[in-house]
Chain A
Amino acid sequence: DTEVTQTPKHLVMGMTNKKSLKCEQHMGHRAMYWYKQKAKKPPELMFVYSYEKLSINESVPSRFSPECPNSSLLNLHLHALQPEDSALYLCASSQVSRGELFFGEGSRLTVL
């Protein structure tokens, strides 16, 4: 079983809705990540948090808003999404000094 827990597993939302994806890890990792994965494609990096501070934003549209309330939690707030934003959103964590990322099972998002 993965030690990175993501909720919800599935989410359907309209283009005018506001929703959030949540991620939690209890491995003591101080780096957390959001990746987006489209079908039959590799995961693409969106955001990196290190010690609860945003360190990398891969030019992600502002309709995606990340938040790291504490060292165990990572949120991704969603607003005014487009149908092309439908994808599997993956959260991962790692020790800050190592590249070994541990992924959650993802949240499958469908935007209608």
Chain B
Amino acid sequence: QQQVKQSPQSLIVQKGGIPIINCAYENTAFDYFPWYQQFPGKGPALLIAIRPDVSEKKEGRFTISFNKSAKQFSLHIMDSQPGDSATYFCAASYGGGATNKLIFGTGTLLAVQP
């Protein structure tokens, strides 16, 4: 119930392509769904996040699609660039306050080829 399942494990796209990363969860108590980008040797950086009352959110080239009934959400990267090559983690949290727990998916290693 605490898990967040993420796929694919790795992804290769050409520059300008639209990589799509998918995540699924079971625990309906999750109420916040962020995506993090991590470059080698660096900490995760928050990219974009969504709450379950919204079906889609766009920030720049990044879009989250959220399907509450299916308990699934996905990240789309428009016009991908070689600089987007990184590991992407979806996550989910619940509780807020003193019990806020952020649970990460297993990660997707994205390579954008020039």
Contacts and interface: CB of A to CB of B under 8 A. Distances in A.
Interface string B56-84: 00000000000000000000000000000
B114 interface: no
Interface of B: 31-32, 34, 36, 41-46, 49, 89, 93-94, 96-107
Contacts of A4: 43
A84 interface: no
Contacts of B101: 45, 48, 56
Contacts of A92: 43
A100 B46 contact: yes
A96 B105 contact: no
User: Which 10 interchain pairs have the tightest Cβ spacing?
Assistant: A42-B104, A99-B32, A50-B98, A99-B93, A103-B43, A55-B98, A105-B43, A106-B43, A103-B44, A104-B43
B109 to A, nearest CB: 8
A21 interface: no
A40 B100 CA distance: 24
Given A42-B106, A99-B32, A100-B49, A56 B44 contact: no
Interface of A: 2, 4, 6, 31, 33, 40-45, 48, 50-51, 53, 55-56, 90, 92, 94, 96-106, 108
A41 B107 CA distance: 7
B100 A94 contact: yes
A47 to B, nearest CB: 11
A48 B100 contact: yes
Contacts of A45: 101-103
Contact of A43 (B44, B49, B98, B99): B44
B102 to A, nearest CB: 6
8 contacts: A2-B43, A6-B43, A43-B44, A56-B101, A90-B43, A100-B49, A103-B43, A105-B42
B34 A99 contact: yes
